[in-house]
Amino acid sequence: MFNFLWPYAFVLLPLPFIFRFFMPASAKARAALKVADTGRWEAGHSAKTTHHSSAKLAWLLPLMIWVSLLVALARPVWVGEPVRLPAAGRDLMLAVDISGSMEIADMQLNNKPVNRLEIVKHVLNDFITQREGDRLGLILFGSNAYLQAPLTFDRETVRTFMNESALGLAGKMTAIGEAIALSAKRMRENPSDSQVLVLLTDGENTAGSIEPIRAAELAAELGIRIYTIGLGAETMEVPSFFGSRTVNPSRELDERGLTEIATLTDGRFFRARNTEELSQIYTLIDELEPSIREDKVYRPETSYFHWPLLVALLLSWLQIIFIRGDDA
């Protein structure tokens, strides 16, 4: 729609009439005399017509110039359709373990046993949906850590990359230190007021040249808060020669190390033994690090003040020509 940014400029519209009203009588007489001095044009009917037109232009042109200047001063703009901007949230990097041990089927989904990675995909789908306004990133790690999705407002892309991840794609071992270091590096390249890393693993650091504690110290120096999640059931029935036996499928999980990483960065360590606990953990993280959901709407504006200004300039040239014609 069409709008004026400074509509109060039109209050000045009657200013020339007010000025003329309070003008001294002697000045009015001189002005009238100057306009009336048209004897050399009044040789006939056509001369009278010319004089009549000149008298009209004598007040019409200045009035049009004044109105054009006021329209330009009022800043006319065309306001476009509303454009919704991403809300100012935080940077949240997801680091997910896809090493060989994530293949263990010690979790239940819809009363069916599934491997750990499938549970993570299921829970993260909902978590990613809730992070409106945040920039999300995704790192997948095994023997090495890889940036799968850089920090972006495009949550659908992050969700797609997560769902397309495959077991063993990054190697069979677990490089927790490299995952933290890579997250810290990417966040340092894209600084923001709030940066969070959520790291999920089911084991201990068995690969990479960077110690997890040293990487956590680096993250703490950069102001990155780390939430660590230890995934895996504590008991599982496995078949054996004598029937079945109970084992602990999470015996390799380094709870102490994950707790220390979280503590160093003012984060928290969580233990997820089943699907429900994992869902509750991500819900709790969502509460601890809420998205800033303020709606921000921008309406693009196109300014048109230069057009009435150009009209005023052209009319001023006509006024100059008109005055010179009278003086000739």
**Rounded-to-integer distance, Cα 234 and Cα 248, Å:** 5
**Separation in Å, CA 25 to CA 21, 29, 32, 60:** 10, 6, 10, 22
- The CATH 3.40.50.410 portion of the chain extends over 85-288
Q: Collapsing DSSP states into helix, strand and coil, what is residue 283?
A: helix
Residue 235 per-residue DSSP state: -
> Would you state the pLDDT for residue 297?
67
The DSSP symbol for 123 reads H
Give 112's strand partners. Answer: 109
CA pair distance 181, 90, nearest whole angstrom: 19
Specify the pLDDT at position 96. Answer: 96
Distance CA 279, CA 234 (A): 17
pLDDT single digits (tens) 221-234: 999 999 999 999 88
Q: Which of 125, 157, 158, 116 is nearest to 139 (CA)?
A: 158
Which residue's structure tokens are 């000025």? 19
C-alpha 185: how far from chain center: 22
pTM: 0.63
Q: What is the pLDDT of residue 43?
A: 44
DSSP annotation of 314 reads H
State the pLDDT at residue 56. Answer: 54
pLDDT tens string 102-143: 999 988 888 888 999 999 999 999 999 888 878 899 999 999
Q: Which CATH number is correct for 85-288, 3.40.190.10, 2.40.10.10, 3.40.50.300, 3.40.50.410?
A: 3.40.50.410
Residue 312: the pLDDT is 87
User: For the chain, what is the total number of helices (H) and then of strands (E)?
Assistant: 10, 15
Residues of the chain under the 50 pLDDT cut: 32-50
Structure tokens at 242: 């004598």
Q: Residue 75 in contact with residue 2, Cβ under 8 Å?
A: no
Pairing of strands 135-141, 91-97: parallel
Can you spell out the DSSP letters for 8-66? GGGGGTTHHHHHHHTS-HHHHHHHHHHHH--GGGTTSHHHHHHHHHHHHHHHHHHHHHH
User: If residue 120 lies in a helix (H) or strand (E), which one and from where to where?
Assistant: helix 116-130
Max distance between CA atoms of the chain, in angstroms, equals 133
Q: Directed axis angle between helix 176-189 and helix 255-264, to 10°?
A: 20
Cα–Cα distance measured from residue 149 to residue 145, given in angstroms and rounded to the nearest whole number: 12
